Structure 1
Amino acid sequence: MSQPAPLAFTPADGPVREPVTKIGGQPVWQEEPQWPLSRETGEPMRFLGQFALDGGRLACLFMTGHPDDDWIDGTWEPEGGENAVVIQPGGRIPDFVSVRAQAEGPTAGPDHLPRAGKADTAADTTADTETDADADADRVPWQFLGGPGIEPRWLQGEEEPGEGWRLVVQLTDGEPFFLNFGDAGIGYAFLSPDGKEGRFLWQCA
């Protein structure tokens, strides 16, 4: 298993219109817009970010709700209809997600781009370590991009969507925005074995 590099974000100079990894802003559509709708309310989900895949494709991540809104149940479930990962170009929308040809909509905040440097790790909340092994574990980040040989760091039990699904990104709920993954939660986005569908789920403490 490969060691993931910490992922942190810095504010962009302005709107990001290129198909690159970012948090916030508006999605960069490479085909007809496919904005997911909440199963419960029918309203557009909130755009959290987009993440570069191989071949110039993007995984665009959405989730129902806003920190100031009433709680919507099911945002943590990978097939609950309250979150979505849209793959473009050449992706496939799963049956449990409804979409609208809408180019812009609710967003987590202004555009932020990845930056080199320290990100959130367990060491940030741990005052002391007793052994070298504990110290090594504490240096493993909680927020990072997926890739060959990179596995999720589960907050609770393992919940991969299925065999052969690979991690796209693992996100904390406070860097750079509060994303509402429950109490000190962690979000996990995955890509299907054929590269056409995505799934998202979150776990909390």
Structure 2
Amino acid sequence: MTVSEPVPLVFVPADGAVREAVTKVGGQPVWLEGPQWPLSRRTGRPMEFLGQFALEGGRLACLFMSGGGHVDGTWEPEGGENALVIQPGGRIPEFVTVERRAQGPSAGPDHLPRHIGLPQHSGAEEDRRPWQFLGGPGIEPHWLQGDETPGDGWRLVVQLDSGELPFGVDFGDGGVGYAFLSPDGKEGRFLWQCT
């Protein structure tokens, strides 16, 4: 597989509630099947909706993470404190519990992606790499600490920079989040690393 260069992006305010199956952060998820809102393993409360990301074939990957104060383990891909729900045709991993809730806590209002150019300053190659971008075939994550890809054949859906999101998220100090799609396209994983 040829490695492609990611295109950096920011999220800008939408004109209102986004109800289409498009990439966005904030607002409420657009359910393509029955609602599957993840619950925190530790507290049992609904996780916070961070965003949804368009996949091939008209599918969506909806990202949730436990919020509302510090909940330990949100960085772990299988800790039960975050979830990447794939619709339609996805499956919920055994470490995630969901309820049939159409709406719930959100990280903030709807924002849509806008691609931006690469930084034009001189310096080390690492300084010019984008830290927030959409994944896809041939797009590799930029790791802060070291490769934590969930397994062979897992593909990056999105990489999110906590400092570039339009609302606060707890990815630790200067953290970056990484969402992945399983090789069969039916399950998601999310994790974050910080400096």
The normalised TM-score by structure 1 is 0.90
In 1: Cα distance, 2:49 partner to 2:88 partner: 18
Counterpart CA distance in 2 for 1:45 and 1:118 is 33
Amino acid at match of 1:25: G
| Amino acid in structure 1 at the alignment position of 2:139 | I
Query: 1:116 aligns to what?
Result: 115
Contact 1:122 1:142 in 2 (8 A): no
| Residue aligning to 2:154 | 165
**d(CA) in 2 for partners of 1:43, 1:24:** 18
Question: Does the 8 Å contact 2:61/2:85 carry over to 1?
Answer: yes
Determine the structure 2 residue equivalent to 1:61.
63
Instruction: Describe the superposition over 1:92-134 as per-residue Cα deviations: whole angstroms up to 9, x where unpaired.
Output: 0000000000000000100000113258x696xxxx72xxxx2
> What amino acid is the match of 1:168?
V
Partners of 1:36 and 1:78 in 2: how far apart?
Answer: 14
In 2, distance between residues paired with 1:117 and 1:86?
27
Moved over 3 A (4+): none
- Tell me which of 171, 190, 195 is aligned to 1:200: 190
Residue 23 (str. 1) matches residue 25 (str. 2): yes
* Equivalent residues of 2:7, 2:117 under 8 A apart: no
Q: 1:43: which partner in 2?
A: 45
Instruction: Give 3-state SS (helix, strand or coil) of 1:113's partner.
Output: strand
Alignment coverage as a number of residue pairs: 192
Q: Which consecutive unaligned segments of at least 5 residues does structure 1 have?
A: none
Change (3 A) 1:103 1:2: same
CA distance in 2, matches of 1:28, 1:53: 13
What are the Cα deviations for residues 56-93 of structure 1, in whole angstroms up to 9, with x where unaligned?
00000000013xx2x11100000000000000000000
Task: Output the CA distance in 2 between the equivalents of 1:146 and 1:122.
Answer: 22
Tell me whether 1:146 sits opposite 2:129 in the alignment: no
| Higher-Rg member (1/2) | 1
- Aligned CA-pair RMSD: 1.5
Q: What TM-score results when the alignment is normalised by the length of structure 2?
A: 0.95
